[in-house]
Amino acid sequence: MNARSIIGAACAAVAMAVAMPVAAHDPLETVTPAFEQNIPNIPGKSVRAVVVDYGPGGASLPHVHAKSAFIFAYVLSGEIESQVNDEPKRTYRPGESFYETPGSSHLVSRNASKTEPAKLLAVFVVDTDDKELTTTAKAKE
């Protein structure tokens, strides 16, 4: 094997290694901000909303929200499987809703279907200064 072949093989291996994580992590969850508004009669509080689109089989990693966040989730289409804190997992259909109180852990949030997309609207009531709405939960040691 000559140097050119070795360098070519090394470049191909690096390119495949870099490309594989992208392919392995298809965007099965897309979060799109919908609106943000300060609440005029409650100083320091804001309402923010996001639309969460799940591709077939899509899911969110376990996560927590801003400590001040009260969240109301409304299923727009498809079926969403959700588990908050120690509550049992439940599947929600279009028109159904659930909520999360401040400090909750969202252990499961995923599209219940492997073949159809799903979409939900999440409305947050948060401290206006909270910038990060969602943080991936840390693994228990």
Over the stretch 53-110, which tens digit does the pLDDT of each residue have?
Answer: 999 999 988 888 888 899 999 999 999 999 999 999 999 999 999 999 998 888 899 9
Does residue 50 lie within any of the structural domains?
Answer: yes
CA-based nearest residue to 94, from 73, 65, 111, 74: 74
DSSP state of 134: E
Note the Cα 62 to chain centre separation in Å.
8
Is 18 inside any structural domain? no
Residue 62: strand, helix, or coil: coil
Quote the CA–CA distance of 119 and 112 in Å, as a whole number: 11
CATH number at residue 57: 2.60.120.10
Is 118 part of a structural domain of the chain? yes
Is 119 a residue whose pLDDT tops 80? yes
* Residue 11, domain member (yes or no): no
Q: Is residue 7 in some structural domain? A: no
Distance of CA 65 to the CA centre of its chain: 11
Residue-number span of the structural domain to which 39 is assigned: 29-136
Question: Quick check: is 38 in a domain?
Answer: yes
Q: Which residue has the higher pLDDT, 136 or 1?
A: 136
Q: What is the pTM of this model?
A: 0.75
Q: What is the DSSP string of 75-123?
A: EEES-EEEEETTSPPEEE-TT-EEEE-TT-EEEEEEES-SSS-EEEEEE
In total, how many domains does the chain have? 1
| Residue 96, in any domain of the structure | yes
Structural domain contains residue 141: no
